[in-house]
């Protein structure tokens, strides 16, 4: 059996064994000393240890630990679908075979790159099929060497508005099977850079006498844009300076002719 005691001062409640015989006791909350008299200091409620009141007064046990693994298993799983790969977009460009070989003659060919390899055509006929898995060796700049059926030949790659060096390296990796696909957008020169080629031509149109200075600048800007080893800021700055010189020359001509 246990005894529930109530402090007359702070009304705090706690439980002690009934066998306790102290005539005075201290409240654990406010430390007030009270006699063991029901009328003066406290109310005593006696109940069995296994009764429902005792069960309610017991300290609640700690909640069970949360198991993340079990929670993941119990949580409804969302089905994820992997998106199918985008279809391979064929690329068309020009190549030039630099020397005769038993596989193909020297000359210029139209090349088509698809998921199966590289096709070389001339006059509407397929002259050579280079499958993925054949051996290709990068030779520097826009040139590479193809080894097929025990024979080899060298070719140069030409594609307009494209960084030729990076595109040729990607072509070599694709033929060797080291690259899954070749996306033309990754090697395309931005259209905005070609404004430095067009602006000197506009100056020539406005002032015909500027052709002696504008035409060389337009050509120089074109080759500056194609320099893949240079930083973009360097290429843009140099082309902008040359273009500014052209328009400064045009302004000077206007001033001289106006006099």
Cα separation of the two ends of the chain: 123
Query: Are residues 176 and 109 part of one domain?
Result: yes
Collapsed DSSP state (helix, strand, coil) of residue 203: helix
Query: Are residues 179 and 103 part of one domain?
Result: yes
Q: How far apart are CA 28 and CA 15, in angstroms?
A: 11
Q: Is residue 67 part of a domain?
A: no
Domain assignment of residue 10, given as a range: 2-57
Query: Are residues 96 and 108 part of one domain?
Result: yes
Asked if residue 121 lies in contact with residue 129, where contact means CB atoms within 8 angstroms, the answer is: no
Query: Are residues 156 and 195 part of one domain?
Result: no
| CATH code where residue 122 lies | 2.30.29.30
Query: Are residues 231 and 195 part of one domain?
Result: yes
Query: Are residues 232 and 168 part of one domain?
Result: no
Whether the pTM exceeds 0.85: the reply is: no
Query: Are residues 214 and 168 part of one domain?
Result: no
Interstrand relation of 24-26 and 125-131 (parallel, antiparallel or unpaired): unpaired
Query: Are residues 108 and 169 part of one domain?
Result: yes
Query: What φ, ψ does residue 67 adopt, rounded to 5°?
Result: -95, 115
Asked which of 15, 34, 57 is the last residue of a domain, the reply is 57
Provide the pLDDT for residue 41.
41
Q: Is residue 105 part of a domain?
A: yes
Measured at the CA of 225, the angle between CA 185 and CA 114, to 5 degrees, comes to 25
Q: Is residue 238 part of a domain?
A: yes
Q: Is residue 77 part of a domain?
A: no
Asked which of 131, 157, 187 is the last residue of a domain, the reply is 187
Asked which of 187, 217, 247 is the last residue of a domain, the reply is 187
Q: Is residue 151 part of a domain?
A: yes
Query: Are residues 146 and 96 part of one domain?
Result: yes
Provide the pLDDT for residue 53.
41
Q: Is residue 64 part of a domain?
A: no
Q: Is residue 224 part of a domain?
A: yes
Q: Is residue 138 part of a domain?
A: yes
Averaged over successive runs of 10 residues, the pLDDT of the chain (259 residues) comes to 70 67 68 55 44 45 54 50 67 92 91 92 89 91 91 92 91 91 87 86 75 83 84 88 86 72
Query: Are residues 243 and 222 part of one domain?
Result: yes
Provide the pLDDT for residue 112.
93
Asked if residue 232 lies in contact with residue 240, where contact means CB atoms within 8 angstroms, the answer is: no
Overall domain count for the chain: 3
Query: Are residues 52 and 6 part of one domain?
Result: yes
Query: Are residues 254 and 210 part of one domain?
Result: yes
């Amino acid at each position: 059996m246990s005894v529930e005691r109530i402090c007359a001062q702070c009304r705090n409640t706690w439980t002690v064994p009934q066998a306790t015989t102290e005539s005075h006791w201290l409240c654990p909350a406010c430390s007030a000393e009270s006699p063991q008299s029901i009328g003066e200091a406290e109310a005593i409620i006696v109940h069995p240890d296994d009764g429902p009141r005792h069960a309610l007064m017991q300290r609640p046990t700690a909640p069970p630990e949360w198991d993340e693994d079990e929670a993941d298993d119990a949580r409804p799983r969302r089905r994820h679908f992997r998106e199918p790969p985008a279809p391979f977009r064929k690329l068309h460009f020009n190549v030039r075979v630099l020397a005769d070989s038993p596989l193909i003659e020297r000359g210029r060919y139209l090349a088509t790159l698809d998921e199966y390899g590289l096709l070389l055509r001339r006059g509407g006929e397929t002259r050579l099929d280079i499958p993925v898995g054949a051996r290709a060796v990068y030779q520097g700049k826009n040139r590479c060497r193809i080894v097929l059926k025990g024979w080899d030949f060298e070719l140069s790659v030409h594609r307009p508005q494209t960084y030729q060096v990076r595109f040729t390296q990607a072509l070599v990796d694709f033929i060797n099977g080291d690259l899954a696909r070749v996306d033309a957008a990754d090697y395309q020169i931005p259209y905005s850079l070609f404004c430095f080629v067009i602006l000197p031509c506009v100056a020539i149109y406005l002032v015909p006498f500027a052709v002696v200075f504008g035409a060389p600048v337009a050509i120089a800007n074109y080759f500056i844009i194609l320099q893949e080893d240079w930083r973009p800021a360097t290429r843009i700055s140099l082309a902008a300076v040359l273009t500014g010189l052209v328009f400064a020359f045009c302004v000077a001509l206007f001033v001289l002719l106006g006099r």
